[in-house]
Structures are given as C-alpha cells and as structure tokens.
Chains A and B, each alone.
Chain A
Amino acid sequence: MATPNQQRICIGPKVPAHADNPISMLLPCPSSGLPARYVIQDGGLYEMQMVDSEGLRSWFIGDTIQSDGALYLITPYDPVFILIPILDIMRQKTADAEGKFLLLEGIFGSSSDQYPSLRHLADLKNIDKYLALVCDVRVAAMKTYRLDDEKVMGWLKKKVEVFVSKFESIPALVDSIAYTESLPEACRTEAITQSALKMVSANLSDSWATKLSANYQFPELDKMESRTQLPSMSEFGKRSGMDLDDEPKAREVKKPKMSVGQRKLAKASTAGMKPMTSFFAKKS
C-alpha cells in the first residue's frame, strides 16, 4: 500500500478488494484530548495503535530490511466515543442554557484548525444513527443534534453491560481478575463490572468517567479491601495513649542502611588504596 521505503507492518481488519484507500487522520483522543491516529475506511472508523520498537528492532520484509521495527494495530473503534467530547464542546452548554442544536455540517464542518480531519467523520456510515444514540434530535427541514447527558449515560451504561456479558469469553480479561478466584461469587461479579467500567472509562474524559462511575457501587469489594487493610502503627500508639508518630520517624531517617559487614568496612582504613575506577575503565 506504499512505496518500499514507507513500508509498515500492520495488523488490521481484512480489506475488501474494491475498497477505497483508507483515510488516516489525527483526531482528539476521547480520554486525553490529545491528537491520536485514526483511520476511516469504507465508512468505518478504526483506531490505530503503534507498538514502538524504540529503534531497537527492525523488520525483514521479503528481501528488504525496514529499520522502523514498529508494529501497527488497526482495530474497529466505536465512533460514539470520539463524538461525545466533540459534541460536548460544540453544544456550548452553560449553567443556565442547555446549549445549541446543530446541523451535521455545523458539528463537523466548522471544525477547529487543530483537527481539520473532523469533517471526515461526517462521512462515516450511519453517522446519524450514532449521533442519535447520545443526542436529542430535532427534525424540522433539516435534522439537528444536541448532546443529551442522560442519553450519554444510558449509552455508556449499556456499553459496560456489553463488556460484562462478553467478559468471560475473553481469556485475557478473565486473567485480569484472577485474584477473585478464591472470593465469593458476589465479589467476582463486582470485579467483572468494575473491570468493564474501567475499560469503558479509558475512552472517556475524566469528567465523564467520574459521572459514569458514580452509577456504580462495589460494596463487596470495598468490604474485602477494608478487611485486608491493617490499622497503621500510629493507631496502635494512639490507643495506648502514646504518640509513636513523631520520634520513631525521625530516628528512621537517621538509621544507616548498612549491613553489619558494611559498618565494619566503614571503619577500615583505605589509605594507599586507589579506587576501582582508576584500574578499570567505566563502560559507556
């Protein structure tokens, strides 16, 4: 798909033979707001991730060597995650106004100078349906959209549910909560939800992630945690009427971290002995 000196090793979805050339672009990452690489092909949105070799590896491709050893991964990405922060800004919500309804062109057309590629999002297949998932839609002569907080929350919660329902079928996810194996079923169920919530939140800005997590409680897991947390030493001290906090800490800092052998060596006279660095050269 490129000239030989621009080869890339990339794992991605199968591309149909008649497909258009993919459009690669920078869009604001929904969680950090920083530019990230995305690809649109055949009306679908894909996220591109790079496993950087940090210049330490290269690829052999046929008879050529490509010095850039990075591996690119292209995976389908739900456009709604990208849309939420954009719509959030565009509606210009204030404390006393819900904000503006906007035309499709209004949302993506007047795109900021930083992300000229936003206009490509309007070409996504079913973009109106995606928008409708999280927006109030007004149909007059033209369809207009405005982000609706409740709809967003509803959609995000459903997203979490989907993750929960698919959780057990993905071994890597099951491994990630292996610590719950010996815990009661209720704990495990909560751990799954918590893990799904984390995954969804990874695609949200902090403010949305906080709002979303407010909908979930994990009483069983909290209980486990508090059970494993031991009272700190200073609490024992207070109970017995002593204040252990001040003195010992000060003493701890002074305590030399040397072993017995080192303390003995500290007393050894090194007169007439040259340092090792005068015999052996430092390696770069």
Chain B
Amino acid sequence: MLEARLQTGALLKKVLEAIKELITDANFDCSDNGIALQAMDNSHVALVALLLRHDGFEPYRCDRSLALGVNLVSLSKVLRCAGNDDIITLKADDTADVLSLTFENTDNDRISEYELKLMDIDSEHLGIPDTTYEAVVQMSSAEFARICKDLQVLSDSVQIDVTKEGVKFGAKGELGSGAVTLKQNGNVDKEEEATLIELQQNVSLNFSLKYLVNFTKATPLASRVSLSMSSEVPLLVEYKMEAGYIRYYLAPKIGEDN
C-alpha cells in the first residue's frame, strides 16, 4: 500500500501541469524510494522522467512497489480542486483500482477527498545510463522559457551553440532570423540568474522549439534549469526540486542546417 503526505500541495499541482502537456497516460511507479514516472510522448522523440523522492513526503510509506496507471488530464483536473497551501495525501492499496487523494486546508479545517479511477497501462521503461555530457549549461529557468518562446516566432527549430564564452540560441525562418546569447558569468549578486557552463568540447545542436516550449511548463518548479548536451545524443533538460527532479530528454534534429 502507498501512503504519501505532501506538505505543499502546490508542488504536485505544478508537476502535473508540467507533464500532462507532454503525455496522456502514465504509470506512477511507487517504491520505497519514492514516486517515479517515465514516459515518452506520442511521437517517441521525447521522454520525461520524474522522481519525487520519499524524503519529500512526510510521512511516506510504500510497503510494496506498485504502479498506479493514471490519466494525467483527469489527475490534474482533480488536483485543481486542491488549494495551493493544501496538504495533499495520496493513498492506494496494493490491489487498488483507485487512487485516493485527500486535500487538507489547515486554516479553516476543510478536508476534501477524491478518488481517481486507475487504469492498466502497458509501459516500457527505457534504461537511461548516467552520461558525462560534452556541455552542461545551468541557467535561469525563466530565461530559458523566454528564449524558447521568443524564438518560436521565427522558426520551429533552434540551434544551440555552446562555447566556453557562452551559449547561443539561434533560429532562422522565412521572416528572418534571431539569436540570443547568454555569456558565462559568475554573477555573485544574482546567483539565480547566473549562466554557468561546464564544457568538455564545443557543441552545436538543433532541437524542435515546440518541444522545448512544452518542457518549459516545468518552469514554476525550479528557478534553475540545466541543459546537458553531447553531439548526436538526446538533450537533457533538468529541473531540480527540493526532493526530486523532472527530466526531459529530446532527440536532436540531425541533417538540418548543419
């Protein structure tokens, strides 16, 4: 059985907002380590991996690993009934066909209980090895979201060039071209906004902007985002949370503008 109590319900709401735009149904794989989810989008060119570690919940109890198959749109609708300050408790029996959610508002003693029907979902898990990337860019998540949105005006794809000086996002389309360059800086005053680059080798890769914009739905979850790149392997876009992460992988576009 699973019992997980989350002090800040807003976190779960934001997580759902972040993944429901990419995938329809998915299994929440609950184990003693925490709650994990891995799924590919319909076209199988992107993948999202979510982990909510057990220490992010108080208390967290999961005696036996179980997979809760959930329609994410339905779950996010139910979560919209929870206030941002509500304490959310998730519960499911080992053989359960429902996920029960309890929202507690400590201020005015309001408790709401919902049950969401579960479904059987065949899921294939992909083994994602730990890789050392040729370039890792850490930057403000809001800045990344803005760049993706701005460049979308010009083109469907963005070319990301990383050198030790900085990172350049460039787009070329029918109506013209545009580029945003962020210089590597160790801005001590505004740590949140600093752009940090770890580089083994310069990289230049093309990615679908529609997908990147989709990933930036996770922006409210973290003030920082890291982009990890190596040539001809999927880009890793990671938003780290206090106890867990949400990671997006996106296949690079090969044979375009190169």
Contact = CB atoms under 8 A, between A and B. Distances in A.
Contact of A273 (B21, B22, B128, B251): B251
A257 B47 CA distance: 19
B223 to A, nearest CB: 22
A270 B45 CA distance: 8
Given A257-B73, A267-B210, A282-B127, A276 B45 contact: yes
Interface string B226-241: 0000000110000000
A275 to B, nearest CB: 4
Given A261-B217, A268-B208, A271-B256, A276 B40 contact: yes
Contacts of A275: 40, 43-45, 251
A267 B214 CA distance: 13
Contacts of A262: 21-24, 41-42
Nearest to B126: A280
Contacts of B41: 262, 265
17 contacts: A257-B71, A259-B21, A264-B214, A265-B43, A265-B211, A269-B208, A271-B256, A273-B254, A275-B44, A276-B46, A276-B126, A276-B234, A279-B249, A280-B128, A280-B129, A280-B234, A283-B124
B251 A279 contact: yes
B110 interface: no
Nearest to B18: A261
A140 interface: no
B255 interface: yes
B190 to A, nearest CB: 30
Nearest to B251: A273
A276 B249 contact: yes
A34 interface: no
A177 to B, nearest CB: 18
Contacts of A270: 43, 45, 208
Interface residues of B, number: 40
Contacts of A280: 47, 126-129, 234, 249
Contacts of A272: 206, 253-256
Contacts of B213: 264
A268 to B, nearest CB: 4
Given A267-B210, A268-B43, A280-B129, 10 more contacts: A257-B73, A260-B21, A265-B42, A265-B43, A270-B45, A272-B206, A276-B40, A277-B126, A281-B127, A283-B125
B44 A268 contact: no
Contact of A264 (B127, B210, B234, B251): B210
B61 interface: no
Interface in A99-136: none
A261 B127 contact: no
B251 A282 contact: no
Contacts of A279: 233-234, 249, 251
B253 A271 contact: yes
A266 interface: yes
A274 interface: yes
A258 interface: yes
B50 to A, nearest CB: 15
B128 A266 contact: no
Nearest to B127: A283
Contact of B45 (A260, A266, A273, A282): A273
B181 to A, nearest CB: 24
A280 B126 CA distance: 6
A280 to B, nearest CB: 4
A189 to B, nearest CB: 26
Contacts of A268: 43, 156, 208, 210-211
B90 to A, nearest CB: 20
B20 interface: yes
A276 B250 CA distance: 8
B252 interface: yes
Interface in B71-91: 71-73
Interface in A152-211: none
A281 B217 CA distance: 27
A257 B127 contact: no
A181 to B, nearest CB: 15
Interface in B122-143: 124-129
Complex A-B, nearest 9 residue pairs according to Cβ-Cβ distance, in ascending order: A261-B21, A268-B210, A280-B126, A275-B44, A272-B253, A273-B251, A283-B125, A273-B45, A276-B47
Interface string A78-110: 000000000000000000000000000000000
B22 A265 contact: yes
A274 to B, nearest CB: 5
A269 B40 CA distance: 16
